[in-house]
Amino acid sequence: MNDIEKARAILRANDRGGYTVPTDRLYPFQWNWDSAFVAMGWGTFDEDAAWREVESLFAGQWDDGMIPHIVFHAPADSYFPGPEVWGTRHRVPTSGITQPPVLATAVRRLWEKGNDRARADAKTASAYPKLLANHRWWRRARDPQGSGLVAILHPWESGMDNSPAWDDAMSRVPTDTVTPIVRRDTGHVDPSHRPRQIDYQRFIHIVDVLRACGWAPASMWAKAPLKIADIATCSILARAESDLAVLAARFGTPAEAAEIGERARAMRAALSACWRPGLGLFASVDLIAERPIDVPTSAGFMPLYADAATPAQAAALGATLDRWAKMVRVLVPSTPPDWPGFEARRYWRGPVWAVVNWMIADGFARAGDAPRADRILADTAKAIAQSGHSENFDPLEGSGGGGGTFSWTAAIDLLLRDRVA
């Protein structure tokens, strides 16, 4: 089996009949941003599977437009917290929080690259109003004051669960829980690769608080013990708004296209203002403490992906990347090794993630910096060649960490190959 067939085989093995699990046992359901990347990976060789992935994710969309971070299509006992902990009342069991909204970007790619134009048009026409409802939800539920930056109310919403950027804000979250914690993750992978027990106590405390709000957005906004304008989530949404604007020009109305374009412009302006010269990066904002989070993470490069960095900021980001490159074997570490919170193998405290690399590289390419974009993608390909389609990679050694045969890593491998085909 050649390398491209290995990546395709992972998606096929993780397919559960219309949706793709991130990896067997460790993550047995459908995850929001995972599926967006996976749909793009499917799209390189099986467009029907790609559109089924999108449609399966939409099956979990709430009436208010939110797309949850997990859709529990079928029972499984290998993951905590399951649907009984979330206690949502959607027609399909789901979690009560969301994840970075990559989906509009994925749908635009599937539409533009589709070989069957009639099918691509029909599928995109069906997806467009659902994407519009989701983006409106983000603005309404997570930026009620119109700042231009949307907030996450749980670290899981960022996708970067235990990032050192959340340490200070999470230290203020109580560790007591109503829900008994029965972790399953450490039975599937090395516990040293996973968030710590105290992290889970705080994760579940927040779930308890938000569940007590009945998952009502206004109540959640008022009572959430954590509220952060995450620079990565905001960048992903800003990029998705620009992609949705392209779809609106074909499948929406002029008024919708104008509305989406205005949101995208406001987000880019707000993101540019999050620049931190001392870090040489952009930074998230702790909305409860009302201060920037001056912690260097890979998320700090993400405004490039949203076309939100000025030329001077893009040049400074390049210099930061060059400095990090001297400390690692594989770019881009989720936290640089010279930061006190760095851990080379522990989830989002150091490891390299193929999906983040793909977005950061795309950002450098959009800024006209092809050499740095190519370096990041080459490092990604090198890590996959060395260690397979692992969940993440040790930036110092290139060895794989977390779960194995991981769907979104396989998808990125396919996108890398599609890029040079």
Q: What's the burial of 421, exposed, middle or buried (CB within 10 Å: 0-12/13-18/19+)?
A: exposed
46 in active site: no
Please confirm, yes or no, whether 391 is among the known catalytic residues: yes
Nearest to 108, CA basis, from 247, 11, 220, 276: 247
Identify the residue whose tokens are 């912690």.
Answer: 295
Contacts of 401 (CB under 8 A, 6+ apart): 190, 193, 345, 351, 390, 391, 392, 393, 394
Amino acid identity for residue 43 in this structure: G
Q: What is the largest CA-CA distance in the chain?
A: 54
In terms of Cβ atoms closer than 10 Å to its own Cβ (0-12, 13-18, 19+), residue 64 is: middle
Query: Could you give the C-alpha distances from 212 to 204, 205, 266, 370, in angstroms and in order?
Result: 12, 11, 33, 48
Secondary structure element (H or E) that encloses residue 203, with its range? helix 197-212
Separation between Cα atoms, residue 112 and residue 100, nearest integer Å: 22
Q: Which helix (H) or strand (E) holds 410?
A: helix 407-420
- Which residue in the list 15, 143, 286, 391 is annotated as catalytic? 391
Neighbours of 168 (CB within 10 A): 14
Number of Cβ within a 10 Å radius of residue 387: 19
Q: How far, CA to CA in Å, does 141 sit from each of 66, 133, 135, 216, 269?
A: 9, 12, 10, 9, 20
Q: Exposed, middle or buried by CB within 10 Å (0-12, 13-18, 19+), for 90?
A: buried
The active-site residue out of 15, 161, 230, 369 is 161
Amino acid present at 127:
A
Q: Which residues contact 51 (CB under 8 A, 6 or more apart)?
A: 39, 110, 119, 123
Q: Which amino acid is at 244?
A: L
CA dihedral 293, 296, 297, 303 (to 10 degrees): 70
What is the distance between the alpha carbons of residues 421 and 236, in angstroms, rounded to a whole number? 26
Q: Which residues are catalytic?
A: 161, 391
